[in-house]
Amino acid sequence: MKYCRFVVEEQVCYGTVEEREGEWWIKGLAPAPEEDLAFHLAHLRGAARSVYFDSMPLSAATLLPPVTPSKIVCVGRNYRDHAKELGNEVPAEPLLFFKPPSSLLAPGGVVQMPPAAARVDFEGELALVIGRRASKLKADADWRSYVRGYTVANDVTARDLQKKDGQWTRAKGFDTFCPVGPFVSDEVDPEVGLTVETRVNGELRQHGSTTDFIFSIPALLEYITAAITLEPGDLLLTGTPAGVGPLAAGDRVEVLIGGLGVLSNTFAQAAE
């Protein structure tokens, strides 16, 4: 199933998403106390329908990030071509970092480029959504049973601060630096190959495939959960393909992944 998180009549809700004649629509609805998504997703699978809501185009909805993670774990340099373009070696082990949940931004939201940063880059990425608590997984475990689904993310990065600071907390962690959405789907398979594309003001800038990962999803899950317990709703950003580049105020960035829709955000210069 596919689902999104959005606002209807000042109520945060989850809705199911389906494609109808080439357009994405939201159908079904459940109010969203954040602590019990599993219950509400089960509810949605049944006959639950609101009396005041039937359906609406996804494009007309006030969307929120589709997940409320306790943490966002990210993988750096997981595509050979991207490691090369920034002059880095292909890593021997996954290179992990966090983005804070406070950096989440809804589809359609405005990324605020901070005055402290001289260069802010886009990084289009596939994100994996954890479905149940995962700890000390082995690569031969049934890893798919720990995955709720997949969505689209933009790992926005202050490139100059990433170099200057020596670690990446600030460069990757500014408020609004993690746009995610528009919805989560368990109906795609990154191991078969999903195309990850990024467009800036309509111009194609990144084009990669998840079959080009240096570290596969089961290998990443084994490596991460050896150290960190992943909770339902946690996000794993799987790295970006080649083609990253700087943005200017007013730019519109769209990240497109087949079957997962388009994540579109504009960029603005934040005030001092």
Which is nearer to Mg ion, 61 or 200 (by Cβ)?
200
**Which of 58, 55, 94 is CA-nearest to residue 184?**
58
Which amino acid type is present at position 179?
Answer: P
Which stretches of the chain bind Mg ion, using CB under 5 A? 123, 155, 240
- Shortest distance (Å) from residue 191 CB to Mg ion: 20
Number of other residues whose CB lies within 10 A of the CB of residue 242 = 17
- Shortest distance (Å) from residue 69 CB to Mg ion: 16
DSSP string, 11-62: EEEEEEEEEETTEEEEEEEEE--GGGHHHHHHHHHTT---TT--EEEGGGSE
- Shortest distance (Å) from residue 157 CB to Mg ion: 7
Alpha carbon 130 to its chain centroid, in Å, reads 12
CB 196 within 8 A of CB 206: yes
Alpha carbon 126 to its chain centroid, in Å, reads 6
Which is nearer to Mg ion, 13 or 75 (by Cβ)?
75
Which is nearer to Mg ion, 18 or 175 (by Cβ)?
175
Output the residue with the shortest Cβ distance to Mg ion. Answer: 155
**C-alpha distances out from residue 228 to 88, 130, 135, 136, 220, Å:** 26, 13, 7, 8, 12
- Shortest distance (Å) from residue 126 CB to Mg ion: 11
CA 171 to CA 191: how far, in whole Å? 30
- Shortest distance (Å) from residue 74 CB to Mg ion: 6
DSSP string, 141-198: S-GGGGEEEEEEEE--EEHHHHHHHSSSHHHHHSTT-EEB-S-EESS--TTT--EEEE
- Shortest distance (Å) from residue 2 CB to Mg ion: 24
Which is nearer to Mg ion, 29 or 126 (by Cβ)?
126
Which is nearer to Mg ion, 155 or 222 (by Cβ)?
155
Which is nearer to Mg ion, 147 or 178 (by Cβ)?
178
**Which of 173, 177, 181, 179 is CA-nearest to residue 100?**
173
Which is nearer to Mg ion, 123 or 234 (by Cβ)?
123
- Shortest distance (Å) from residue 154 CB to Mg ion: 9
